[in-house]
Structure 1
Amino acid sequence: MKITFTAGLVAGILGLSGAALAQDAHTWTVEDEFDNVTFAVESAIMDAGLVVDHTSHTGEMLERTKADVGGTMTIFTAADIFSFCSAKVSRAVMEANPANVQYCPYTVFVYERPETPGQITVGFRDYPAGEMDMVEDMLSGIVTEALGIE
């Protein structure tokens, strides 16, 4: 499995214009089947002792509603977002700053673009430096476990 890691802008990843608002993200790209990667991500979340609260099938929703909203472009071949929380990590970051509640639940996204079939991107958003580093460490651990990265 070929793996590439980048910490870049989601806007750049999605090919959006520079005028678009962008959220920094940590991403890894692997060559594999979408279903294999989503299974590995979900398994890694559960192996970390966490429960997936919700899986958002964002790619399916965007494709299903494309004509309804005047869209013409197929953005993703497939795209899922896994939402979950960690009682231990959440407690630590929220004891440090109760406003960190805004970041929970945490998410890991997985997507495939139509122009790059078989190249699956996995990632999570960038959080503010400081106490939220603990969240990024947890999410990095989940992603690297899922992708078999040492």
Structure 2
Amino acid sequence: MKNTFIAGLFAASMAVTAQADTLSTVYDFDGSFDDAAFSVESAIVGRGLVIDYVSHTGEMLNRTGADVGSDVTIFDGADIFLFCSAVLSRKVMEADPMNIAHCPYGIFVTDKDGKVSVGYRNYPDGPMQEVQSLLDDIVREAVGE
């Protein structure tokens, strides 16, 4: 019984690890942070979507580090582009009004030690996969795939 319990705990911890590995999809960008940010902005706007807000998360983390007792530089640059699609948002919220929790949609650009990446948060199975597909298309375009 004890071995079964330990095996069950190990399986549960592996499931959590696997889930943590699937929180986001990230692609490398061959170029500068500014070029990646411009490419993401262009890919979003090029689909007729409006960027509601750009969160300059990297600047905020760097600016407030000392205030919270840290001298760690997490990112050299990090922005998150927030936007919605009226068509997809309506579709997924008609399927389940609680899909409002996923809006607005975000695509992030990061620069960590000279490695520039572009990605997005993964969404649950079901109607939100159509949004995830849109995000993947936008990111792939931005990174040149």
TM-score after normalising by structure 2:
0.84
Q: What displacement does 1:25 show?
A: 0.3
Aligned to 2:5: none
Structure with the greater alpha carbon radius of gyration:
2
Q: What displacement does 1:31 show?
A: 2.4
CA deviation map 1:10-59 (0-9, x unaligned): xxxxxxxx8xx787101101221000000000010000110000000000
Matched to 1:147, the amino acid is V
CA distance in 1, matches of 2:97, 2:141: 29
CA distance in 2, matches of 1:33, 1:123: 15
Aligned to 1:59: 58
Kindly indicate whether structure 1 or structure 2 has the higher relative contact order, using CA contacts under 8 Å at least 6 residues apart.
2
Indicate whether 1:77 and 2:76 are aligned: yes
Query: Which aligned segments of 4 or more residues in structure 1 are displaced greater than 4 angstroms?
Result: none
Query: Number of aligned pairs?
Result: 127
CA distance in 2, matches of 1:22, 1:63: 26
Measured on the aligned residues, the alpha-carbon RMSD in Å equals: 1.4
1:1-150 matches, cutoff 5 A: 24-114=23-113, 117=114, 119-149=115-145
CA distance in 1, matches of 2:21, 2:70: 20
CA distance in 2, matches of 1:136, 1:65: 32
Structure 2 contact 28–143 (Cα < 8 Å) conserved: no
CA distance in 2, matches of 1:62, 1:77: 10
CA deviation map 1:82-131 (0-9, x unaligned): 000000000110010000001000000000112xx1x2111000100111
Q: What displacement does 1:147 show?
A: 1.4
Structure 2 contact 78–111 (Cα < 8 Å) conserved: yes
Q: Partner of 1:81: helix, strand, or coil?
A: strand
Structure 2 contact 30–143 (Cα < 8 Å) conserved: no
Q: What displacement does 1:71 show?
A: 1.0
Q: Partner of 1:71: helix, strand, or coil?
A: coil
* Structure whose residues are more often helix by fraction: 2
